[in-house]
Copies of this chain bind each other. A is one copy, B any other.
Amino acid sequence: MASRQVSTRAPRAGSAAAVADRLHSAAIHLLRRLRREDDASGLGAPRLSALSVLVFGGPQTIGALAAAEQVRVPTMSRLVAQLEADDLLTRAPDPSDGRVVRVEATSAAHALLHAGRRRRVAALSADVARLTPAERKTILDAIPLLERLAGR
């Protein structure tokens, strides 16, 4: 790794460690800001995010949803129960396997999610609009890499 010594303090700029470190910090701060917008939807980030997987990725099983959201199955099971109670998704037993539960976003969920996204975008878009096209492209190019680092 970093040749001479493993400094705990200031890894070489551009090194994997420096990238990882600064990326972590940036992600924390970005999400802290956006969390406030999420909450305005009345749902909170975890439910919104799970719902987003359903809305944009189509019907899923509980397990697949948990994997996509990187939480444990019981956690997702409870999220699904809450979302169902709010009529934001429906459950249906899988016809070919009695164990699995397929969940699907309702039209109310679609509407709510789009409203939430609009809010979130509104919060960011003023700043995003202030970036130059080149800067915007830099971020766009980085996003797939971030997703890869997140293990997707």
Which residues of A are in contact with B by a Cβ distance under 8 Å? 1, 6, 8-9, 11, 13-34, 45, 49, 52, 69-71, 114-115, 117-118, 120-121, 123-129, 131, 135-143, 145-152
Contact = CB atoms under 8 A, between A and B. Distances in A.
Contacts of A8: 114-115, 117-118
B145 A135 contact: yes
A146 B30 contact: yes
A9 B111 CA distance: 10
B26 A150 contact: yes
A35 to B, nearest CB: 9
A120 B20 contact: yes
A32 B142 contact: no
A15 B138 CA distance: 13
The 10 A-B pairs with the shortest beta carbon distances in the complex, nearest first, are: A20-B124, A142-B142, A16-B125, A29-B150, A16-B128, A8-B114, A26-B146, A30-B150, A32-B70, A20-B125
Contacts of A31: 24, 27-28, 31
Contacts of A136: 14, 16, 19
Contact of A28 (B21, B49, B138): B49
Contact of A149 (B45, B118, B128, B151): B128
